[in-house]
Amino acid sequence: MVETTETTASSEAKEAPSKPAAPKRAATPQALELIKKNKLDIDEIEGSGNFGRIVVDDVNDFLKTKETVGEEDDKNDKLAAAVDAAATKSVGNEEKEDEETSGLELDSIEILMPSFTQVPLQDKFVRFTEKQQDMASKSEASLQIPTFRVSREIKMDRFHALFQSLKSEGVSVTSLLAKAVALSVQEHPVINSSFDEGGGLMYKGDINVAMAVATPDGVITPTIKNTNLKSVQEISTMWKDLVRKARAGTLRPEEHQNRTITITNLSMYDVTNFDALLEEGQGTVVAIGAMQEKFVESEDSMLGYAASKTMIVTVACDHRQIYGADAALFLTSLASIMEKRLDALLE
């Protein structure tokens, strides 16, 4: 009798339909429907919602990325070829190679992604190009500048919402960051100054924001003149053109010189915060980290805490004419603009 019961139970267990496995990742119903429709692997999609929840925009962005996989392979092959050719070709020919090497755009910030193609290890000397040698010299010279650094965490929820509302107009995160930095500099002119060997500091009448762009030949800093006086739409249009020229190696000297402050951004690599080198002739460089989701104090929450997007900004300053309080006040203004005074970015 007992055996019959066990057998029957076993048979029922086998015949019972199995329940569908619960999704491994949290996603909105609309996002799940789109994932099923396109037969996508949910684990491959990065969520931008609260606590990594996948929303429709994340799925659409993933689909766009999939469509360009073939193009990505071509870009990686070209980059690997450019690196290998650098060992055998002359400096004069490398300029031409740069024009053939493309970059990618992630999170509205133009960057050149590294190639993950495996290359055989070998002992080999590769001579610097003229640009690389210049960068090496400037990096070494930066060690002579008495530099200090100050960091601040900025809440990004409203800034991110503003970007999403302007995204369809072609406005990039980069242009919004550049405008915010320029307006903060306008409130603290000493941040825009440089040390003068004559025994003083040189205030700059213009606010020219440069932004670092990686190329196969090193880092170059296209510059937006009078950034504080331009709209974010103008900055976005100019920036896209400058990045295209930077990747092609066709920037004119006036398009990457006369900068008064520089922004360097590694957020697309999920770097939370980092230190940047300060070049001679500038008083400040602004390092942008990746946006993170975390709990912060909130007066609107019953528990006193709420989920929020945050970002760490680190400024490196020349201590010969800029002091700790100056840097702290600059970051206070930057946080105020990005957290509360967002209307200023639309002027």
**pLDDT at residue 216, as a whole number:** 79
Does 256 qualify as catalytic in the annotation? no
Domains in the chain: ranges and CATH: 133-346 (3.30.559.10)
Q: What is the pLDDT of residue 320?
A: 96
Other beta carbons within 10 Å of 269: 12
Q: What count of residues does the chain have?
A: 347
- State the helix-helix crossing angle for 56-67 and 29-37, rounded to 10 degrees: 30
Which amino acid belongs to residue 102? Answer: S
What predicted TM-score, i.e. pTM, was given to this entire model?
0.66
CB atoms inside a 10 Å sphere around CB 43: 9
* CB-count burial class (<10 Å; 0-12, 13-18, 19+) for 24: exposed
Contact (CB, 8 A) for 209 and 223: yes
At 70 the pLDDT is 52
Given the DSSP bridges, would you call strands 209-211 and 223-224 parallel, antiparallel or unpaired? antiparallel
The CA distance from 281 to 143, in Å, is 13
Q: How far is CA 120 from CA 45, 76, 97, 117, 341, in A?
A: 32, 16, 21, 10, 53
Q: Please name every residue paired with 196 in a beta bridge, in sequence order, or none if there are none.
A: 200
pLDDT score recorded for residue 48: 79
* Helix, strand, coil share (%) of the chain residues, nearest 5: 45, 20, 35
Query: Is 330:338 a contact under the CB 8 Å cutoff?
Result: no
Centre a 10 Å sphere on the Cβ of residue 229 and count the other Cβ atoms it contains: 12
pLDDT at 46: 81
**Residue 319: partners with Cβ closer than 8 Å, 6 or more residues away:** 146, 147, 148
Task: Pick the catalytic residue from 160, 188, 256, 319.
Answer: 319
- One pLDDT digit (tens) per residue for the chain, 347 residues: 444 444 444 444 444 444 444 445 688 888 888 888 888 888 888 887 766 788 888 888 888 877 655 555 555 555 455 444 444 433 333 333 333 332 333 333 444 455 556 667 889 898 988 888 988 998 998 999 999 999 999 999 999 999 999 999 999 999 999 999 999 999 999 999 999 999 999 999 999 999 999 887 788 899 999 999 999 999 999 999 999 998 888 999 999 989 999 999 998 889 999 999 998 899 999 999 999 998 877 777 777 788 899 999 999 999 999 999 999 999 999 999 999 999 999 98
Q: Chain-centre distance of CA 215, in angstroms? A: 15
**What span, in angstroms and rounded, lies between the C-alpha atoms of 322 and 260?**
14
pLDDT score at 171? 93
